[in-house]
C-alpha cells in the first residue's frame, strides 16, 4: 500500500466511525462504537511501523508521527469514559451523546493528519477540522477569534507559497536556502502568522471548553506540537525566527495560564487554565530544537496527556454537588482526591513523578540555548504554578467537608482511567529511563 | 544493597506499610515507631564503619538510574553528613512519640508522610549526585508543606502556602544554578555528570561565579532560614503539630546549612571567600533579629523558632570564618541545636497539655506542676544557652580578624539571646497556686531523657565529635585556600 494511503487509514477509520455516530444519531451503543473506532485506528497506527521512515507526496511516516498519533489516540481513549460519565450525570439524550462521541472521533482524525503531513495547506485543513470540532463542544464559542486565527493561518500559508512557490515544507526549505537575495521578511512573517494562528486556534479553547471539550483540546495540543516539530525540523533556515516566535508564545501562554488559574476557584477551571502553563513549557522545548528538543517535547506531551487527563478524570469524579463545592472532599472521596493530588503534584513538578522528569528535561535544554533570563522568568512562573496547585491539594484535604455532602461514585471507566494514569506517572517518575530511551529513539527517527 | 541504601529503604518501606489503612491507631503508630527505630539502628551501624581520619566519601554506592540525563543513584557518607543523618535518625522516633496522642485524624497518612520525610532528609544528606540531592530536597519540602497544611492549626493553609512558596522558590533558584553548572561541566569535560565532586573544579569567570554563588547561597539561605526569610519557619512552628514542628525546626532547616558546606562553598570557593564578610553581615543580622524577637516572644513556639533563627545565624557565621575550629564549632552547634530545640518543642507541648497554653507567662509555677519536667526543661534551656554561647564565642573569635564589626555585633546578639533564656527560666520559677501536680508520663520521659543526655554529652564532652570533624573541616578549609591562592 502506498505510504499516503497507509497514513490515511487510521484517520479514515475514525472519520467513518465518527460520521456514523453523528449522522445515525440513534446508534444503540454509541460508546462501544466509539471504542471500536479508536481500537481500529490504534491497530492501523501500529501497522504504520512497516513504513518506518517513508514519505509520499504530502505525508511522512516516521516514528515521531507514529508515536504522537498513538498518543492522540490514548488521549481520545481517556476522553471517552469522561464523556460517558458527564453525559450520564448531565442526563444527556442518546442523540446528543452519540453526536459528541462522533465529534471527538472526527477531531481525532484531523489530529492524526496534522502530525503526519508536511503540506501546509493540508495541515491548515486538519487544524480547521479539529478547531471546528472543539467549537461544537464549547458552549461559548468565540467566532471572532476563530475567524481571526483561520485568516492568520491562511494568509501565512499563502505567503509561504509566494515566497517559495510551494506548500510543501521540504520544498519551502529548499527554495529559501537557494535564494540569492537571502530569506527576506516574507517567510518570517508567514511563519509568525502560521504559528500564532495555530496557537490561537487550539490553545484558548482550553479556557472555555467544558468537561468533555478540555480532554479533546489536550489531545489537540499533541497534534499542534507534532505539527510544530515537523515544521521546526524542516524549516531550518527559519530557525532563529522560529525560536523567537515560540519563546514569545511560551511566555504569553505561561503568564495567561497562571493568571487565569490564580483567579479560578473551581477545580476544573484551575486545571484547564494551568494547561496553558504547560503548553508554554512545550513551546520552550520546540524552540530549543534539535533531537534533544524533540525528545523533550515528546516526553512532556506524553506526560501532559497522562497527568492532565488523569487529573481531569479524577476531578470529574470529585465533582461538586448542587449544594457543596469540591473543597473538603478529600476525606469523603479519598481515592479520587489522593489520585488527583498526586497527579496535580506531578504537574507542579514534584519529585518522583513524570512531571518532574519532563520539566527537568525541557529546562536543561534552555540553558545551552543561552536563554538564562528566560529560564529565570520560567522558574518564576513555575513557582506560581506550584502555589495554585498546592491550594487545590490543601483545599481538598484541609477544608471542612460540608455537612450535606453526598459522595459521588467515580464509575468503572473513570476509575480505570485514573488508576492507569497514576501508575504511569509514578512508574515513569521513579524509573524514567525506559520511557526516556523510547522517546529518544522516536526523536531520532525523524525526517 | 548497601547500608546507605538501607538507610533510605527502611523509612521508605515504613511509609508504604504505614500507608495501608489499619483499624487500630496504636498499630499505625507502633509500626511507624518500629521502622524509625530500625533506621536508627542502621544509622548507628554506619557510624561504626566510617573512618574519620579521611574526608573522602565512604561506603559509596553507585547505581545507574537515568543514563539518558546523566543521572546516577550515587550515595556516600562523610563525617559531616553522618552526624546529620544520626541527628535525623534520633529525632524521628522522638517526633513520633511526641505526636502519639496529638494527631487524631488521618494518622495513617500523617505517619506515612513523616517516614517519607525522614527518608527524603536522609537521602539529601547522603546524595553525592546533585540531581539526586535536588530530588530529595524537593521531596522534603513537599512533604513538609503537606504536614503543615493538613494537620496544622486554624491558619495552617496560610502557613503551609508561605512555607511552600518561599522554600520551593529557593529550590527553583538552585535548579537554575544546577542547570548552568551541569551545562558548564559538560562543555568543559565533554561528558555529562551530576557528581558534585566533578563540579568542584569548574572554570568560571569571576562574574559567573559571583552570580552562581549568590543564587545558590540564597537558595540555601531561605531554607536555613536566614533573615528575612524566617517567616516560613515562624508560621510553620505556630501552626503545626509537635512532630512537624520538631522536624521543621531541627532537621529540615539543617539541609540549608549542609547545602552551603557541601555545594555552595566547594563549587564556588573564590566567590565564597570574597563575599564572606557580606555573608557574615547577613548572618549577624539574623542573629540579632532572632535574639531580639526571641527575647520579646510571648509564645513558646515562636520563641523556639526565633532562637533557631539566631542559632542558625551563628552556624552560618562559623562556616564562613573559614577556620577549622570555627567550622567544627558551627557543625557542633547545628547538631546540638537539633536536640535542645527538639527537646524544648516537645517540652512546650507537654506543658500545653497540662496548662492549656503556649504562653510563656502561663509557665509560672511550672516547677510545682511538673517538677521533673521543669528540671528537664531547665537542663535543655541551659544547653540551648551555653553550647551556642561557648562555641559561638569560638566563632566570634575566628571572625574577628576578617570582620571585626560583624564579630562584635554577633557577641551582642549572643548576649541578647541569653536574656531570652533567662526570662524563660525566671517566669517558670515564679510562685503560683497549683491544684494538682501532673507528673511526666513514661512515654514523655522516654522522649526527653535521651535528648537531655545528648545535650549534656555535647555540652560537656563533645571531644569525640569535634575530633571526628577534624579531617572534614581541614579539607573544607584547604579547598577554599587552594582556590584563593590560585586565583591570586
| Cβ separation B139–A376 shorter than 8 A | no
In B177-196, the residues whose Cβ lies within 8 Å of chain A are 179-180, 182-183
The CA-based angle A418-A421-A427, given to 5 degrees, is: 135
The better pLDDT of the pair A376, A400 is held by A376
Of these ranges, A56-60, A368-372, B198-202, B271-275, the one predicted with the greatest mean pLDDT is B271-275
The better pLDDT of the pair B247, A404 is held by B247
* Per-residue pLDDT tens over the stretch A371-391: 778 888 889 999 999 999 999
| B259 in contact with chain A, both atoms CB, cutoff 8 A | no
Distance in Å, alpha carbon of A413 to nearest chain B alpha carbon: 25
| DSSP per position, A311-349 | HHHHHHHH---SS--STTTTTTSHHHHHHHHHHHHHHTT
Chain B contact probe: residue of A298, A343, A351 with most B CBs at under 10 A: A351
Checking if the pLDDT of B232 tops 80, the result is yes
Residue A61, classed as helix, strand or coil, is: strand
Query: What's the pLDDT at B486?
Result: 56
| Cβ separation A383–B142 shorter than 8 A | no
- Backbone phi and psi for residue A29, each to the nearest 5 degrees, phi listed first: -130, 80
Chain B contact probe: residue of A337, A364, A381, A426 with most B CBs at under 10 A: A364
Contact B480, B369 (CB under 8 A): no
Please give the Cα distance from B67 to B97 (Å, whole number). Answer: 41
Query: What's the pLDDT at B308?
Result: 93
User: For B114-128, B304-318, B370-384, which range has the lowest pLDDT when averaged over its residues?
Assistant: B370-384
| B283 in contact with chain A, both atoms CB, cutoff 8 A | no
Chain A contact probe: residue of B65, B117, B120, B142 with most A CBs at under 10 A: B142
How far is C-alpha B206 from the geometric centre of its chain's CA atoms? 31
Mean of the per-residue pLDDT values of chain A: 86
Please give the Cα distance from B482 to B36 (Å, whole number). Answer: 41
Distance in Å, alpha carbon of B181 to nearest chain A alpha carbon: 10
- Chain A residues lying within 8 Å of B160, measured CB to CB: 390, 394, 398
Query: What's the pLDDT at B23?
Result: 67
* Per-residue pLDDT tens over the stretch B395-414: 998 888 888 899 999 999 99
Query: What's the pLDDT at A226?
Result: 93
Please give the Cα distance from B89 to B75 (Å, whole number). Answer: 17
Question: How is residue A352 annotated by DSSP?
Answer: T
Bridge partner list, A191:
none
Please give the average per-residue pLDDT across A155-174, as a whole number. 91
Q: Provide the pairing of β-strand B58-66 with B71-77.
A: antiparallel
Q: Provide the pairing of β-strand B58-66 with A59-61.
A: unpaired
Please give the average per-residue pLDDT across B159-180, as a whole number. 92
Checking if the pLDDT of A283 tops 60, the result is yes
- Chain B residues lying within 8 Å of A265, measured CB to CB: none
- Chain A residues lying within 8 Å of B168, measured CB to CB: 383, 386
Nearest CA in chain A to B187: A368
In B119-138, the residues whose Cβ lies within 8 Å of chain A are 131, 134-136, 138
User: For A108-112, A264-268, B37-41, B332-336, which range has the lowest pLDDT when averaged over its residues?
Assistant: A264-268
Bridge partner list, A117:
A59
Which residues are within 8 A (CB) of A424 and not within 5 positions of it... i.e. 6 or more apart?
A: A306, A354
User: For A330-334, A399-403, B97-101, B466-470, which range has the lowest pLDDT when averaged over its residues?
Assistant: A399-403
Nearest CA in chain B to A345: B142
Query: What's the pLDDT at A322?
Result: 40
- Chain B residues lying within 8 Å of A361, measured CB to CB: 69
- Chain B residues lying within 8 Å of A375, measured CB to CB: 176, 179
Which residue blocks in B356-436 are alpha helix, DSSP H?
A: 366-369, 371-400, 404-429
| B375 in contact with chain A, both atoms CB, cutoff 8 A | no
| Cβ separation B69–A360 shorter than 8 A | yes
Q: Grid coordinates 529503604 are at which residue? A: B9
CA–CA distance from B364 to each of B358, B378, B426 (Å)? 12, 14, 9
- Chain B residues lying within 8 Å of A366, measured CB to CB: 179
Share of chain A above pLDDT 90, in %: 43
Which residue blocks in A138-266 are alpha helix, DSSP H?
A: 143-164, 169-177, 185-202, 205-208, 213-234, 239-263
Confidence band of A120 (pLDDT split at 50, 70, 90) = very high
Q: What is the ipTM of this complex?
A: 0.89
Confidence band of A323 (pLDDT split at 50, 70, 90) = very low
* Per-residue pLDDT tens over the stretch A352-371: 999 999 999 998 888 776 67
Query: What's the pLDDT at B212?
Result: 94
Nearest one of A114, A102, A101, A126 to A72, comparing CA atoms: A114
Nearest one of A334, A338, A279 to A310, comparing CA atoms: A338
Query: What's the pLDDT at B24?
Result: 79
| Cβ separation B182–A387 shorter than 8 A | no
Please give the average per-residue pLDDT across A281-303, as a whole number. 92
Checking if the pLDDT of A321 tops 50, the result is no
Q: Count the helices and strands in chain A (H runs, E runs).
A: 18, 2
Mean of the per-residue pLDDT values of chain B: 89
| Cβ separation B183–A368 shorter than 8 A | yes
- Chain A residues lying within 8 Å of B150, measured CB to CB: 394, 397-398
| Cβ separation A364–B168 shorter than 8 A | no
Confidence band of A95 (pLDDT split at 50, 70, 90) = low
Nearest CA in chain B to A390: B161
Please give the Cα distance from B255 to B84 (Å, whole number). Answer: 9
Q: Grid coordinates 459522595 are at which residue? A: A407
Please give the Cα distance from A195 to A171 (Å, whole number). Answer: 19
Please give the Cα distance from A341 to A318 (Å, whole number). Answer: 12
Amino acid at each position: 500500500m502506498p505510504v499516503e494511503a497507509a497514513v490515511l487509514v487510521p484517520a479514515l477509520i475514525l472519520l467513518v466511525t465518527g460520521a456514523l455516530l453523528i449522522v445515525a444519531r440513534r446508534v444503540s451503543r454509541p460508546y462501544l462504537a466509539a471504542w471500536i473506532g479508536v481500537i481500529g485506528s490504534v491497530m492501523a497506527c501500529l501497522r504504520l511501523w512497516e513504513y518506518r521512515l517513508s514519505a509520499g507526496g504530502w505525508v511522512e511516516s516516521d516514528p515521531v508521527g507514529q508515536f504522537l498519533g498513538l498518543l492522540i489516540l490514548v488521549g481520545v481513549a481517556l476522553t471517552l469514559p469522561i464523556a460517558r460519565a458527564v453525559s450520564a450525570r448531565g442526563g444527556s439524550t442518546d442523540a446528543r451523546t452519540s453526536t459528541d462521541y462522533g465529534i471527538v472521533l472526527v477531531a481525532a482524525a484531523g489530529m492524526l493528519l496534522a502530525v503526519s503531513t508536511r503540506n501546509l495547506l493540508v495541515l491548515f485543513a486538519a487544524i480547521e477540522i479539529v478547531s471546528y470540532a472543539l467549537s461544537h463542544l464549547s458552549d461559548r464559542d468565540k467566532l471572532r477569534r476563530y475567524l481571526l486565527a483561520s485568516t492568520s493561518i491562511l494568509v501565512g500559508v499563502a505567503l509561504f507559497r509566494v515566497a517559495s512557490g510551494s506548500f510543501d515544507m521540504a520544498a519551502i526549505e529548499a527554495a529559501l536556502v537557494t535564494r540569492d537575495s537571502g530569506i527576506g521578511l516574507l517567510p518570517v512573517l508567514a511563519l509568525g502568522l502560521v504559528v500564532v494562528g495555530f496557537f490561537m486556534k487550539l490553545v484558548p479553547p482550553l479556557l472555555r471548553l467544558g468537561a468533555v471539550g478540555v480532554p479533546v483540546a489536550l489531545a489537540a495540543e499533541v497534534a499542534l506540537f507534532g505539527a510544530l516539530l515537523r515544521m521546526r525540523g524542516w524549516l531550518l533556515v527559519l530557525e532563529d525566527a522560529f525560536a523567537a516566535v515560540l519563546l514569545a508564545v511560551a511566555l504569553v501562554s505561561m503568564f495567561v495560564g497562571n493568571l487565569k488559574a490564580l483567579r479560578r476557584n473551581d477545580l476544573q477551571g484551575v486545571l484547564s487554565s494551568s494547561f496553558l502553563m504547560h503548553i508554554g513549557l512545550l513551546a520552550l522545548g520546540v524552540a530549543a530544537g534539535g533531537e534533544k528538543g524533540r525528545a523533550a517535547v515528546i516526553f512532556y506531551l506524553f506526560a501532559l496527556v497522562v497527568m492532565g487527563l488523569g487529573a481531569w478524570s479524577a476531578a470529574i469524579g470529585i465533582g461538586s454537588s448542587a449544594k457543596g463545592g469540591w473543597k473538603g472532599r478529600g476525606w469523603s472521596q479519598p481515592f479520587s482526591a489522593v489520585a488527583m493530588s498526586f497527579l496535580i503534584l506531578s504537574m507542579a513538578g514534584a519529585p518522583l513523578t513524570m512531571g518532574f522528569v519532563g520539566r527537568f528535561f525541557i529546562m536543561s535544554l534552555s540553558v545551552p540555548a543561552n536563554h538564562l533570563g528566560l529560564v529565570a522568568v520560567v522558574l518564576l512562573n513555575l513557582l506560581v504554578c506550584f502555589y495554585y496547585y498546592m491550594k487545590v491539594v490543601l483545599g481538598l484535604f484541609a477544608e471542612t467537608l460540608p455537612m450535606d455532602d453526598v459522595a459521588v461514585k467515580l464509575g468503572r471507566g473513570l476509575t480505570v482511567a485514573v488508576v492507569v494514569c497514576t501508575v504511569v506517572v509514578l512508574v515513569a517518575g521513579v524509573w524514567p529511563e525506559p520511557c526516556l530511551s523510547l522517546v529518544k529513539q522516536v526523536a531520532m527517527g525523524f525526517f | 544493597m548497601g547500608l546507605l541504601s538501607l538507610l533510605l529503604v527502611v523509612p521508605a518501606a515504613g511509609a508504604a506499610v504505614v500507608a495501608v489503612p489499619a483499624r487500630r491507631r496504636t498499630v499505625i503508630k507502633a509500626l511507624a515507631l518500629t521502622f524509625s527505630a530500625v533506621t536508627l539502628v542502621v544509622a548507628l551501624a554506619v557510624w561504626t564503619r566510617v573512618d574519620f581520619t579521611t574526608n573522602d566519601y565512604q561506603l559509596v554506592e553507585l547505581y545507574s538510574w537515568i543514563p539518558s540525563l546523566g543521572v546516577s543513584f550515587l550515595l556516600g557518607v562523610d563525617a559531616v553528613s553522618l552526624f546529620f543523618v544520626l541527628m535525623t535518625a534520633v529525632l524521628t522516633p522522638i517526633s513520633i512519640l511526641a505526636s502519639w496522642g496529638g494527631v487524631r485524624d488521618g494518622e495513617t497518612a500523617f505517619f506515612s508522610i513523616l517516614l517519607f520525610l525522614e527518608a527524603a532528609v536522609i537521602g539529601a544528606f547522603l546524595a553525592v549526585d546533585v540531581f539526586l540531592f535536588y530530588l530529595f530536597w524537593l521531596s522534603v519540602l513537599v512533604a513538609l508543606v503537606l504536614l503543615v497544611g493538613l494537620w496544622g492549626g486554624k491558619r495552617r493553609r496560610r502557613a503551609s502556602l508561605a512555607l511552600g512558596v518561599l522554600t520551593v522558590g529557593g529550590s527553583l533558584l538552585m535548579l537554575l544554578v544546577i542547570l548552568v553548572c551541569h551545562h558548564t561541566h559538560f562543555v568543559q569535560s565533554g561528558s555529562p555528570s551530576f557528581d558534585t565532586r566533578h563540579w568542584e573544579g569548574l572554570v568560571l569567570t569571576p562574574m559567573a561565579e559571583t552570580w552562581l554563588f549568590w543564587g545558590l547561597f540564597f537558595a540555601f539561605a531561605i531554607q536555613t532560614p536566614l533573615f528575612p526569610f524566617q517567616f516560613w519557619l515562624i508560621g510553620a512552628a505556630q501552626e503545626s503539630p509537635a512532630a512537624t514542628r520538631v522536624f521543621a525546626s531541627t532537621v529540615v532547616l539543617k539541609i540549608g546549612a549542609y547545602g552551603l558546606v557541601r555545594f555552595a562553598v566547594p563549587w564556588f570557593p573564590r566567590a565564597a571567600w570574597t563575599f564572606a564578610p557580606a555573608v557574615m553581615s547577613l548572618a549577624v543580622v539574623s542573629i540579632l533579629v532572632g535574639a531580639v524577637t526571641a527575647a520579646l516572644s510571648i509564645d513558646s513556639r515562636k520563641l523556639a523558632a526565633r532562637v533557631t533563627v539566631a542559632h542558625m545565624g551563628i552556624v552560618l557565621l562559623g562556616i564562613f570564618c573559614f577556620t577549622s575550629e570555627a567550622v567544627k564549632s558551627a557543625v557542633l552547634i547545628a547538631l546540638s541545636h537539633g536536640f535542645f530545640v527538639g527537646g524544648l518543642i516537645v517540652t512546650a507541648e507537654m506543658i500545653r497539655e497540662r496548662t492549656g497554653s503556649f504562653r510563656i507567662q502561663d509557665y509560672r509555677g511550672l516547677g510545682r506542676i511538673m517538677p521533673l519536667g521543669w528540671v528537664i526543661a531547665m537542663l535543655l534551656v541551659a544547653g540551648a544557652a551555653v553550647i551556642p554561647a561557648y562555641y559561638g564565642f569560638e566563632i566570634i573569635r575566628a571572625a574577628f580578624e576578617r570582620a571585626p564589626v560583624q564579630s562584635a555585633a554577633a557577641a551582642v546578639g549572643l548576649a541578647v539571646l541569653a536574656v531570652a533564656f533567662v526570662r524563660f527560666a525566671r517566669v517558670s520559677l515564679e510562685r503560683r497556686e497549683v491544684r494538682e501536680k501532673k507528673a511526666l508520663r513514661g512515654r514523655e520521659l522516654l522522649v526527653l531523657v535521651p535528648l537531655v543526655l545528648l545535650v549534656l554529652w555535647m555540652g560537656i564532652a563533645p571531644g569525640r565529635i569535634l575530633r571526628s570533624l577534624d579531617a572534614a573541616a581541614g579539607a573544607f578549609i584547604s579547598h577554599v585556600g587552594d582556590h584563593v591562592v590560585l586565583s591570586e
